[in-house]
Chains A and B, each alone.
Chain A
Amino acid sequence: MLIPLIIDDIVSAVSEFAGDVVSLDPVLLQLTIFALLLGGVFALAALGLTMIFGVMDVVNFAHGMLIVAGMYTVYFVTTTVGINPLAALPIAVVALFALGVVISVTAIEPIIEAPEENQFIVTLGISFILLAAVQIFFTPDPRSIVMDLGRYQLFGAQIPKGQAYALAIAIVAMAALWVFLQRTELGTAIRATADNREGAWYVGIDVPNIDHITVGIGSALAGLAGAAIVIFSPFDPFIGESYLVKAFVIVVLGGLGSLPGAFVGGLIVGAIQVFGGFYLPGTTNEIVIFLLFVLLLYLKPTGLFGERRA
């Protein structure tokens, strides 16, 4: 009863979409722009999760709350010091890097050899503690420091500047991470650890140290994602859950541990959310996202980018 209904929705949505494509409806350009803007930020939000998995084989359930911690760091700095949210970005990155290192040293490293479920439980526990901390310091009320930056015009389509800045931040961060991993000695050591932990030990890499740095960078990326999101979107302490779930979907789509995978996965999820949200009724687009997630887990658990390296 339900499944034919959903198929019906999808068929009519696809035909409507095809109609718009044939008639070159300007709405397509607008939707594509929104999809790119959202997808880029989603990719950034998922990047740290996939990096930690790639290097350490740990699924970090605290990732969503780390994004929220980034949001509140910017909020705190902006409201107390009174500077522009954009200027608070580097502070969020540094603060979250430090938080990540603390988490790694105190909680993740002691159980890195333990069964997966213990890693699960520890990162889940950290996520609860962070949620509590944010609620205690900032109350559970929603907050907003959205900047009114206006919009660009492009062939009749609108580009909100806030989201455009967020996308630019995401692209710069991804490019910088790529260069860091490919061109620096530390980056090479991280890639070596991701490839072969034992081998890395043998050639003299301080693997625990690499782990701490990896969790630090992963957390800093989460913090940066949070900082980019607050430019254009209000937030509350509980928003982390939805970003965590999205990040899971994105990294599974792209391949757990794959950085280019996170980028492509982010664009896919952004596109489904924007196009699906426009053509499909209600929040049916989420059903499509999760169906894709489940299908891919079975058919190609290594994701679209079937490699497992950071």
Chain B
Amino acid sequence: MADSTSTETDVGGVLTRLDEHEYSAYIKAVLGFGLLAALPYLIEIEMAGLSLGSVLTLKILIVTLVFAFSSQAWNLISGFTGYFSFGHAAFFGIGAYATQKLAIDFGINPWFGMLVGGGVAVLLALLIGFLNFRYELKGHYFALATFAFAMLMGVVVRNTKELGGAIGYYRPFPRDYGAEYGLAAFQFQSDLPYYYVIFGFLVIVTAVAYALKESQLGLYLFAIRENEDAAASVGIPTFRYKMLAISLSAFFTAWAGAFWSMYFEIIRPETVFGLSKNVEVLLPAVVGGLGTIPGAIIGALFVFPLAEFFRANVDQIIGLDDVVYGVALVLIALVLPNGLISIRKRIREWRD
């Protein structure tokens, strides 16, 4: 009797019971997002003289959510259809540069600029998608081709004086280019509103990803991932659906770039189009669990705060944050190929 109550009340038991609930996904989403929304306040609470804030700052949380968001967007093509993109920095960078350029040189509202950037990213995605799918690039070749486009965008921007060239593109204070602070201007004087903007983005893309996954279309996308030839042979127009998935993915990834350009003062070709941006975009989804909805968020919350913690607290040893990325990647691929999200299942398998 006492035994059964204790197993029913531990966390694993609660989660198992929640899994069986009819609205399990919604309850978990509300709880998870509620926790994320409260996080900026939670890190300030002190317990026994310690607080999360001593290892986590709001800035780290914002960067974490940027990559949770962009990784969720990346998931729409790479997690859902299995076409592993290694060039999403191309879309990220377009979003960043379009928003920044339009806002500063033409006085266009960043929200509108973000949509323009999204539109341009979709055009590029259609071009990349058309070429890649038309020439049937798969596996390594698909990854290399997307990577090549990101590099190409990077070197083109680096050679374009109008976009600041290699030095980068600097965003002055809003009053210096005639904009105000506030939500309408996408400019804030403190970090907290930025956090809630990117949090809002994350809610939107997660809802879109969930809706897509639950729809008929999502079923087709996963069919493409499992066996594309079989999917095509039963009459699924795979080309059209892949094009749609990559466009949607690019559209949202450009938002992440737009946010980046409005949050940081300067954007540079190598930081927004570079190899490491490609990695940062795909890392959370891979670590958390490819093709799963909570995966990108869990992966981001695991990787970036941990890396930042090492960077900030073991500062006599430079490079430890890279160890976190590296070890996380290797261990995930070797031990948990389905990501952190599969850890409960793995533990249950070990126990049984």
Contact = CB atoms under 8 A, between A and B. Distances in A.
A265 to B, nearest CB: 14
B204 to A, nearest CB: 26
B95 to A, nearest CB: 18
A120 B327 CA distance: 14
A136 interface: yes
B141 interface: yes
Contact of B319 (A115, A118, A136, A281): A136
Interface stretch (B49-57, B110-118, B149-157, B256-264): B149-157
A201 interface: no
A128 interface: yes
Interface string B274-293: 11000100000010001000
Contacts of A301: 135, 137, 141
A22 interface: no
Nearest to A256: B140
A56 to B, nearest CB: 12
A135 B322 contact: yes
A297 interface: yes
Contacts of B334: 107, 110-111, 122
Nearest to B332: A121
B156 A287 contact: yes
B140 A121 contact: no
Given A135-B319, A136-B319, A298-B135, A129 B159 contact: no
Contact of B145 (A117, A130, A298): A298
A118 B334 CA distance: 8
B148 A128 contact: no
B152 A291 contact: yes
Interface in A142-158: none
Contacts of B123: none
A181 B143 CA distance: 29
Nearest to B165: A282
Interface in A280-310: 281-284, 286-287, 290-291, 293-294, 297-298, 301
Q: Interface size class for chain A?
A: 35 or more
Contacts of B149: 294
A293 B148 contact: yes
Given A59-B144, A107-B334, A298-B135, A125 B155 contact: no
A114 interface: yes
B159 A290 contact: no
Contacts of B137: 297-298, 301
Interface residues of B, number: 48
Contacts of A125: 325-331, 333
Interface string A266-290: 0000000000000001111011001
A6 B157 CA distance: 12
B126 interface: no
B148 A283 contact: no
A163 interface: no
Given A139-B318, A283-B159, A132 B140 contact: no
A117 B286 contact: yes
B25 interface: no
B323 interface: yes
Contact of A129 (B140, B148, B322): B322
Contacts of A128: 322-323, 325-326, 329
B188 to A, nearest CB: 33
A140 interface: yes
Given A2-B160, A136-B318, A127 B152 contact: no
B131 interface: yes
A131 B322 contact: yes
B320 interface: yes
A2 B159 CA distance: 10
Contacts of B274: 241
A116 interface: yes
Contact of A132 (B151, B322, B329): B322
B237 interface: no
B318 A140 contact: yes
Contacts of A290: 148, 151-152, 155
Interface in B152-179: 152, 155-156, 158-160, 165-166
Interface string A159-201: 0000000000000000000000000000000000000000000
Contact of A117 (B152, B290, B319): B290
A120 B151 CA distance: 18
B84 A117 contact: yes
Nearest to B79: A117
A124 interface: yes
A245 B275 contact: yes
A126 interface: yes
Contacts of B145: 294, 297-298
Interface in B46-93: 78, 82, 84, 86
A248 interface: yes
A114 B317 CA distance: 34
A222 interface: no
B255 interface: no
Given A116-B143, A283-B158, A297-B144, A241 B135 contact: no
A252 interface: yes
A159 B329 CA distance: 44
8 contacts: A126-B330, A132-B323, A135-B322, A248-B144, A252-B144, A294-B145, A297-B135, A301-B137
Given A140-B319, A298-B137, 10 more contacts: A2-B156, A2-B160, A6-B156, A111-B334, A118-B337, A122-B329, A132-B322, A135-B322, A283-B159, A297-B137
